[in-house]
Each structure stands twice: as structure tokens, then as C-alpha cells.
Amino acid sequence: MHSAQRRSLQRFLAYVAPYRTTIALATACGVVRYLIPLVLPWTLKIVVDEFLVPGGGRPRTQLHLLMVGLIAVYVVYGIASYWRSYLAGLAGHRLIFDLRRDLHHHVQRMSLSFFDRQRIGEVVARMTSDIASAQNFVGAAFVNTAMDVAAISGVVVVLLVAHWKLALVALAVLPCYAWVSLRLTRRLREQSRVIHDQLQEISGELHEQFGAISTIQSFTQEEAEARAFHKQSERFLHSVLSNVKLQSVALGATGFLTAIGPILVLWFGALEVLAGRLTIGTLMAFYAYLGLLYQPVQRLTELNLIVASSLAAMDRIFEVFDTYPEVR
């Protein structure tokens, strides 16, 4: 992160500061929300290994108590989900309100020469899409990161406790998964920046054209403007299709690696079950835990993309703040 981005981030965090308690509570609720699902696969293991056994297992009364307890735990899950979503949304939208209000007040005080130099569409984009992009930093950097780290840590601990050899097999794919995701995410970030700049340019051109439509029609420049817009749209389409191709490659590669982990677990786990060193319930729980492992890993690998987009938006926002009227 270069010095300009660091300054923009520090100024943005000044807007975050009034809501740090709300964000901390949202993060805590999010951690609880992500840890509770870890109970379900282990419950599956208990049911298969201790209740569904030949010759009868534990009493049915205990099965009923176990299921009622699981329902109670998921009541807490629902409550935590509500408060995580509400508090994160409250902090994010209040922050947007404060930032947009101050930016609007600042732009209102600018000299007329500022509006002569700047396209109206670009100014509007700073106050709408750029501020919304900057808001994503709150969720990505604070709330989601804490939730994902807690979920990954919880799953890894449970896997190691249950069967450390099978846990190593399950985790063997993760380095490859993270490496591929990071490489593709970096390229997606660069392409997304190009798309954003081109879209902002098109928005600015459209505002200028429609604002001067009477002049364009008076000088019969409709065809010339249409050709210019067609060229801009073609460049934008090419960039978007390149981004779609990268996203498709990312989807295929991560999808393949996500499938390899469960296949290896089933392969090695089946051999362990046949050798009598692993129960069927533990193998089923392992398979279920893998589904809880890859999703937060994927989000963490995409964190750079979200943060980079947010930092670029912050730079554009505070660039306007750093422009002052000629007469103060």
C-alpha cells in the first residue's frame, strides 16, 4: 500500500470510528454464527456411531434430547445471524450517509471552474458507486475476515482432534487452492480496475452528451456521437468479456480443487474404515466439515480484490475532498 492509499485509508477510518462498537458487536455475532454449524457434522457422527449401530445403541430418549439441544443451538444461530446482518448494515449505511453528506457539502462549495474541468458523470460516480465500494471495506476487512478466520480455525481443530492423519489428507489441497485463487484474484483485480475506469468514462460522456443534446442536434452530430459511443462500448465489452473469461477459469480451477479434497478424504477414509481405524460416522463428519472449510478460504483469497477496489474508491473520493474552491 503506497502513501497516498495509506492517507486515504486513515481518513476513511475516521468515518468508521464512531461506529466501532457496532462493528465489534456485528463481528462477535458473526463469529458465533460461523462456529455454530460446526456442531452439526459432529452430531451426525454421534448419531451414526452411537445410535445407528447393529444390536441397538444408546436409548432413544438420549437421541430426542440430542436433537432438541441441536434445535436450541440453531435458535441461537438465527438470533446471531439477525444481529450480525442488522448491525453490519446499520454501521455501513450510517457511514455511507456521513461520507456522502460531507462530500456533497464540499462539492457544493466548489468554484464553477471545477465543474468546467470535471465531467458531471464522474462527480456523480464519486458520490454513488465509489462510496458504495468504499463501504465494502468495512465488511471485508473487519466483519468477514474475523468470521472466516474463526470458521477455518474451528474446522481445522475439530478435524485434527477427530483423526489427525485424515485431517492432513483433507488439508493437503488447501495450499494449491489458495495459490490458484490468489493468482487469479490478482488478475481479476487488475481487470476490474480497467472496467471501472471505462464505465466511469462512459458515464461521464453520456452525461455530457445528454446535457448538450440540443447543441448536438443543431449541428447534426448525432451520427458522430453514435460512432464514438459505439467505439467506447466495444472497448468496454472487450474488457468485460476478458473479465468473464478469467472468472470462468477461476470457477473451473477452484471447483476442481474443491472436489479433489473430498475425493481424497473418501479414498483414504474408506481404507481406514476397512482397517478398523476409523468409524463410518467420523468419515461422514469429515466429509461434511470439508464443505464448511472451503467457503471461508475462498472468501479470504478474494479479500485482496475487495480491499484493492475499496482503496481505489477511497482515493477517488478523497481526491475530490483535496480539491478546494478558488475563493475560500
What pTM value is reported for the model? 0.76
Q: Ranked by mean pLDDT, which of 76-85, 113-122, 303-312 comes out on top?
A: 76-85
Range of the domain at 92: 3-321
The DSSP-derived string for 120-178 is HHHHHHIIIIIHHHHHHHIIIIIIIHHHHHHHHHHHHHHHHHH-HHHHHHHHTTHHHHH
Mean pLDDT confidence for 219-226: 82
The overall average pLDDT reported for the chain is 84
Q: In whole angstroms, what is the distance from residue 12 CA to residue 8 CA?
A: 6
- Give a yes or no: residue 73 inside a domain: yes
CB atoms inside a 10 Å sphere around CB 215: 10
Q: Where would I find the H helices in the chain?
A: 3-16, 20-35, 39-46, 60-108, 112-117, 120-125, 131-137, 145-162, 164-171, 174-211, 213-218, 222-274, 280-301, 303-321
- Give a yes or no: residue 315 inside a domain: yes
CB atoms inside a 10 Å sphere around CB 150: 19
- Give a yes or no: residue 327 inside a domain: no
- Give a yes or no: residue 326 inside a domain: no
- Between residues 5 and 99, the one the model is more confident about: 99
pLDDT digits (tens, 9 = 90+) for 266-285: 999 999 999 988 899 999 99
Q: Ranked by mean pLDDT, which of 74-88, 153-167, 270-284 comes out on top?
A: 74-88
Question: Cell numbers 469429515 correspond to what residue?
Answer: 286
* Residue 2: per-residue pLDDT: 63
Contact 290, 172 (CB under 8 A): no
Into how many domains does the chain fold?
A: 1
- Cβ-proximal residues to 323 (8 Å cutoff; 6+ apart), any chain: 110, 114
CB atoms inside a 10 Å sphere around CB 185: 21
pLDDT digits (tens, 9 = 90+) for 201-212: 787 777 777 777
Residue 68 has pLDDT above 90, yes or no: yes
Measured CA to CA in angstroms, residue 136 lies from 8, 129, 133 at distances of: 15, 11, 5
Residue 1 has pLDDT above 60, yes or no: no
- Gyration radius of the chain over CA positions: 27
Q: For residue 37, what is the DSSP state?
A: G
Q: Tell me the HSE value of 322 on the side-chain side, using a 13 A CA sphere.
A: 10
Q: In whole angstroms, what is the distance from residue 224 CA to residue 253 CA?
A: 44
Q: In whole angstroms, what is the distance from residue 39 CA to residue 70 CA?
A: 8
Q: In whole angstroms, what is the distance from residue 154 CA to residue 78 CA?
A: 19
Buried b (16+ CB within 10 A) or exposed e, 83-121: bbeebbeebbeebbeebbeebeeebeebeeebeeebbeb
- Give a yes or no: residue 328 inside a domain: no
- Give a yes or no: residue 189 inside a domain: yes
- Give a yes or no: residue 235 inside a domain: yes
* Residue 56: per-residue pLDDT: 66
CB atoms inside a 10 Å sphere around CB 161: 10
Q: How many residues does the chain have?
A: 328
Q: Tell me the HSE value of 111 on the side-chain side, using a 13 A CA sphere.
A: 9
| CATH number of residue 125's parent domain | 1.20.1560.10
- Give a yes or no: residue 154 inside a domain: yes
